[in-house]
Amino acid sequence: MKHPVRPDDFDAVIHERVRLAIVAALAARPQMGFTELKAALGVTDGNLSAHARALEEAGYVAVSKTFHERRPHTALSLTRSGRAAFQRYLQALRRVVEQGAGPDPEPGPSPAPR
């Protein structure tokens, strides 16, 4: 028998909608440029920066800064622990769907104001 859904089954860091969208996009692609990710999610520079920083601090996202033809290029990718956290979050969602309802997760970190 499957165990009931507990509040800590939902990772508070990726429960926030923009952060969940960032993790989902990076789960589908090995790496995405900052501009490309911003366009795919329809968020502002500041919003994406702040949430990406929260994910980076949690160790879920790796950010690399390089230069392409003298232009700065920021790329984001999911770390191993980020991918595992995303899998756990999906499993928790699946259990809520199967069991009908689950507890609300604890509030996660808010992005720092810019």
Partner 1 sequence: MEREEALARIAEIQRVMERATRYTLLPGGVAMVGGLMVLAGCALSWWMLGSLDFAAMLHLSVAGQAGFCLLWFAIGVAGIVLEAVLTARAARREGLSTGGRSTRLALVSLSPSVLVAMLLTYTFLIPMEPRPEEVQYIVPVWMMLYGVGVCSVGQFSIRAPRLLGAAFIAAGAVALLFFRDWGVVAAALSFGILHVVFGLHVIAMRRRGVP
Q: Which residues bind partner 1 (CB under 8 A)?
A: 5, 10, 17, 20-21, 24-29, 32-37, 39-42, 68-69, 71, 73-74, 90, 93-94, 96-97, 100-105
Amino acid at residue number 13: V
Kindly tell me which of 13 and 37 has the beta carbon lying closer to partner 1: 37
Cβ 18 to partner 1 shortest distance, Å: 10
Kindly tell me which of 16 and 111 has the beta carbon lying closer to partner 1: 16
Cβ 24 to partner 1 shortest distance, Å: 4
**Letter string b/e over residues 53-73, b meaning 16 or more CB atoms within 10 A of that residue's CB:** bbbeebebbbeeeeeeeeeee
Tell me which residue of 81, 85, 94, 87 sits closest to 2, measured CA to CA.
94
Cβ 48 to partner 1 shortest distance, Å: 12
**Whole-angstrom distance, CA of residue 76 vs CA of residue 3:** 34
Amino acid at residue number 14: I
